[in-house]
Amino acid sequence: MATIRLILFFSLAFFVAATRNPRRNLLSKSEFTGNYSHVCDAARFAELGLDMKTFAYCNSSLPYDVRVKDLIDRMTLAEKVRQIGDTAYGVPRIGLAKYEWWSEALHGISDVGQTGSKATFFDSSLPGATSFPTVILTAASFNQSLWKTIGQAVSTEARAMYNQGHAGLTFWSPNINVVRDPRWGRALETPGEDPYVVGTYATNYVRGLQDVEGTENTTDLNSRPLKVAACCKHYAAYDVDNWLGVDRYHFDSRVTEQDMLETFLKPFEMCVKDGDVSSVMCSYNRINGIPACADPKLLKDTIRGEWDLHGYIVSDCDSIEVMLDGHKWLSLDLDCGSYYTNFADSAVVQGKVREAEIDKALKNLYFVLLRLGFFDGSPQFNLLNKDDVCSNEHKELAAEAAREGIVLLKNENKSLPLDSAKVKTLAVVGPHANATSVMIGNYAGVPCRYIAPLDGFSSFGKVNYEMGCADVACKNESLIFPAMEAAKKADATILVVGLDLSVEAESLDRVDLLLPGYQTQLINQVAAVSKGPVILVVMSAGGVDISFAKSNSNIKAILWAGYPGEEGGIAIADVVFGRYNPGGRLPLTWYEADYVDMLPMTSLALRPIDTLGYPGRTYKFFNGSTVYPFGYGLSYTQFNYTLISSRRSIQIKLNNLQHCREMNYTEATYKPPCPAVLIDDLKCDNDFGFEFEVEVHNVGKRDGSEVVMVYWTPPEGIIEAPLKQLIGFERVFVPAGGLEKVKFQFDVCKSLGIIDYTAYNLLASGGHTIMVGDGGISFPLQVSFEQ
């Protein structure tokens, strides 16, 4: 979250309504509108000594723009300025209620925030909310409908909590920054390293949070109803938190236009265009010298203009750009509490900001609040209450998400799943064997409960627990011996190790890719003496170099469990004992440890820089060896694919407005007469599509889910083109011995664009390659232009 300073600032500035509404437990009464469920209630106005009929902004038969204008026109400048911070103080004089903009719902409703300006909170009347796995693990499911379903469950809990006065309606989630570097501390919050996966996750999660069933066909997107408002953050090129003293507040991302378009902006573009998100948050870092929050090109031209955002841009609220217009952006570094609101007021007086700019900001904000029913109510959600938070259905969904995300990395001789008829005693050892809060990572709330690995395994056998390490840091060997003793006696040994927020977190990047302290010794020594098979379970967000375990024949199986959420323990045990057949895939490359010695985290380039010896980043540009590659993941069964049909060539007839463009080729490459065409020049339609079907056979003995991944490789010899790019994926369940058909449809303009050096999006002519799965099936797709 990029709002630490903002929050500090606002909590200093004012004493926000210190007394919370004592009747918050009533149904449909929000924290902000007092004893009423929404602002425009005639009785509420009457209590304020006002006649609601005389306020056009409360007339629901008027269009939103008329209502918003009426509301804004009623405010004085001083009143307006008090609405553009994350605490909007309201204007009792005209019936406008206060509103707290800041709530979080990264993987469940969170109470992160500062007392006083915190919309969401738990107490004895509403003690917790479902804490789903951290996003990095949910992403590993590669299941789009799961991503959306979790969003729907979270927004249901949000509405239920709002009705109890326990939450706001505007959630500053999800975090969709691409994990460019394996050291980034916030990988756990994100869907991983691939811009397309990240954007697809964002679209689904945002739709789950925002969409109101039955209003899908709303044509005026500015008035499309919202269940809750989501926010895609942090825009953009923000993925250095604190690395060897370089922190995000001072970091200047030196980014090429090419990387910007291809990698850093892509998920945001998808979030806005495909997800129709109602808010974007800009980040603290600078981009090539200009603060991301003060760059009119990035904010106004791109998000509002090109992508057509229906909503507001937040950081230091909508109007950083407004506030700073004509002013030195450096003044932002004065994070003094009352600076912002004072400044806006006086800046207008001094002519540095036009009041009309503040009005524009307010307009964007009130449109969103109108869409949320803040003014008129949302009857369809009125019945949601405490029983809808932490329901059995949601807890089961949290467990299901963890099961779907867990990745099987090694399974020597089919050692897994364990057979509970044979395995009666278990040694469950390691610093995470009894993990609780570790499993919910950051931006968590209070979970409904915890099911630790220990608890999960207890339902399958007799468990003997040893920590092995006092904590993740594992500073000494003192607890290893008892762990070895436990392993000597058990029918099977489960080692649960990994990282936590003391290693990878907001404001804390990693400096290496190793397991901390003596964890490696713990694993090796326990594995050496175990009576039964040894199963290694790694909890982490970023990849860990566990080559030693991969090659250790005493370690029969390895699972990656991310940070699996409040129900994580049962999910892990279900996978180990075969109650669930794992199908997750790594959403990140697991690099070897020396990778981080080859390039500094502060170099943002994705492509290798030969002159500096920097390797490339992510599976798209790194061609060296890995511990496990992006997309890796095994199953207890085997699948094979058969390709049914596909178009193999696409000829595009160019008109005289469509020009051929140059591409840079390696010397040995044949250079076609018309190398490429600007995608914006092509009027893409069905003629430029291709589709095919894959038959997925489950040829093993167990039911299972398979993630079918489709990659594209650009024509050979184009300098700086990605090695490959994921363009589609689908998770399917296939019963043992069965088959499922999966259909893929692509539009070459959307899926086969190459961003060139000068940031043009080009379609290259020549032999493209489409691969399905891990190189099992591939076919050529010839693109040619006729002039």
Ligand X SMILES: *[C@@H]1O[C@H](CO)[C@@H](O)[C@H](O)[C@H]1NC(C)=O
Rule CB under 6 A: is residue 391 a binding residue for ligand X? no
Cα 302 to its chain centre, rounded Å, is: 21
What minimum distance in Å lies between the beta carbon of 151 and ligand X?
Answer: 11
Rule CB under 6 A: is residue 143 a binding residue for ligand X? yes
What minimum distance in Å lies between the beta carbon of 568 and ligand X?
Answer: 13
Residue 695, CA distances (Å) to 426, 689, 727, 773 in order: 40, 20, 18, 12
Rule CB under 6 A: is residue 502 a binding residue for ligand X? no
Task: Convert 70-93 to b/e letters by CB count within 10 Å (16 or more is b).
Answer: bbbebbeeebbbbbbbbbbbbbee
Catalytic residue among 181, 276, 316, 500: 316
Number of residues near ligand X (by CB under 6 A): 42
Q: Residue 170: which residues within 8 A CB-CB, separation 6 or more? A: 101, 102, 103, 119, 228, 229, 231, 279, 368, 372
What minimum distance in Å lies between the beta carbon of 556 and ligand X?
Answer: 6
Rule CB under 6 A: is residue 53 a binding residue for ligand X? yes
CB nearer to ligand X: give 81 or 136.
Answer: 136
What minimum distance in Å lies between the beta carbon of 252 and ligand X?
Answer: 23
3-state secondary structure 562-611: CCCCCCHHHHHHHHHCCCCCCCCCCCCCEECCCHHHHCCCCCCCCCCEHH
Cβ neighbours of 503 (radius 10 Å):
21
Active site (annotated) includes residue 316: yes
Contact 180/266 with Cβ under 8 angstroms? no
Q: Which of 475, 659, 671, 750 binds ligand X (CB under 6 A)?
A: 475
Pairing of strands 676-678, 626-628: unpaired
The continuous run of DSSP H or E covering 401 comes out as helix 392-405
CB nearer to ligand X: give 67 or 183.
Answer: 67
Q: Binding to ligand X (CB under 6 A): which residues in 195-254?
A: 214, 216-217
Q: Where does this chain touch ligand X (CB under 6 A) — which range of 271-279, 627-635, 729-737, 740-748?
A: 729-737
Q: What does the alpha-carbon distance between residue 111 and residue 491 come to, in Å, rounded to a whole number?
A: 42
DSSP bridge pairs for 784: 651
Q: Which of 338, 476, 502, 787 binds ligand X (CB under 6 A)?
A: 476
Rule CB under 6 A: is residue 613 a binding residue for ligand X? no
Q: Residue 180: which residues within 8 A CB-CB, separation 6 or more? A: 193, 239, 263, 604, 606, 617, 618
Pairing of strands 676-678, 252-253: unpaired
- Site map for ligand X, 422-461, x if CB under 6 A? ------------x-x---------------x---------
- Site map for ligand X, 631-650, x if CB under 6 A? ---------x-x--------
Cβ neighbours of 675 (radius 10 Å):
19
Q: Binding to ligand X (CB under 6 A): which residues in 13-52?
A: 21, 23, 34-35
Rule CB under 6 A: is residue 551 a binding residue for ligand X? no
3-state secondary structure 638-688: CEEEEEEEECCEEEEECCCCCCEECCCECCCCCCCCCCEEEHHHCCCCHHH
- Site map for ligand X, 553-592, x if CB under 6 A? x---------------------------------------
Q: Where does this chain touch ligand X (CB under 6 A) — which range of 157-165, 366-374, 499-507, 730-738?
A: 730-738
Rule CB under 6 A: is residue 413 a binding residue for ligand X? yes
CB nearer to ligand X: give 311 or 616.
Answer: 616
Amino acid present at 485: E
Rule CB under 6 A: is residue 470 a binding residue for ligand X? yes
> If you count DSSP H runs as helices and E runs as strands, how many of each does the chain have, helices first?
22, 30
Tokens 């395994």 found at: 457
Rule CB under 6 A: is residue 697 a binding residue for ligand X? yes
Q: Where does this chain touch ligand X (CB under 6 A) — which range of 143-151, 245-253, 260-268, 489-497?
A: 143-151
Among 11, 5, 79, 81, which residue's Cα sits nearest to residue 342? 81
By the criterion CB under 6 A, which residues form the site for ligand X? 21, 23, 34-35, 53, 59, 61-62, 143, 145-146, 149, 214, 216-217, 404, 412-413, 434, 436, 452, 465, 470, 475-476, 478, 553, 623, 640, 642, 662-664, 697, 699, 705, 731-733, 756-758
Catalytic residues, by residue number, are: 316
